[in-house]
Amino acid sequence: MRDILDQCFIDRATWGLDIWEEELTLKTNLTDSYEVRRSRIKAKLIGTGTFTKQNILNLANAFSRKQNAKYLPLYEQYAFQLIYEIGDLISYGDLKAAFERVKPAHLALLVYIVAHFEIHNSIRQVSAYASIVEFPFLGDGHGIWMACNNSTEA
C-alpha cells in the first residue's frame, strides 16, 4: 500500500514515473536514473509562468541534488548565471533544455560549476577556491566553450 502512495510524490516515485511522464507529455527514457527522470518532471511542472527570480531558482534547483543552486543576473550582458558546486548538478543537458524552453530568447544562460563559492556583498562577484568551468548557451544554441580561472567578476 505504501508503494502505491509513494508514486503520488515525485521524490519517492519509481514505477509511477512513467505515469508522471505520460501526463506531462515527456519522453520516457528507462535508461535514465530515477533522479534524472524526477528532475525532468519537476522542471516541466515548474517551467511555466513568468520568468522571475524565484521561478529561475525553482527550475535550477530541480536539477540540484542539494537544492543549492545560485542565480546571478547579468543585466548589462543580457545573460544570467547559474552556479552549482561540483557534484550537485544532476543533468546538465536536461537543465539546458528546460531553460531553453522557458527563458526569453535574448538572454544567454551561463552555468558555472565550482568547487566552492561565496557570494560577496557585491552580488556581481563570485570567488571560487578552484577552477570555474563556464558553459554559455545563447538562444541559438551555439557557442559552447570553456574558460578556467580562479575568480570571476561580472
pLDDT digits (tens, 9 = 90+) for 59-114: 999 999 999 999 999 999 999 999 999 999 999 999 999 999 899 999 999 998 88
**2: Cβ–Cβ under 8 A, 6 or more apart, which residues?**
none
Give the model's pLDDT for residue 122: 46
Q: Which pLDDT tens digit goes with each residue over 17-73? A: 999 999 999 999 999 999 999 999 998 888 777 889 999 999 999 999 999 999 999
Give the model's pLDDT for residue 1: 85
Give the model's pLDDT for residue 120: 54
Q: Which residue has the higher pLDDT, 152 or 125?
A: 125
Which helix (H) or strand (E) segment holds residue 137: the answer is strand 133-137
Domain assignments of the chain as residue spans, ordered by start? 2-153
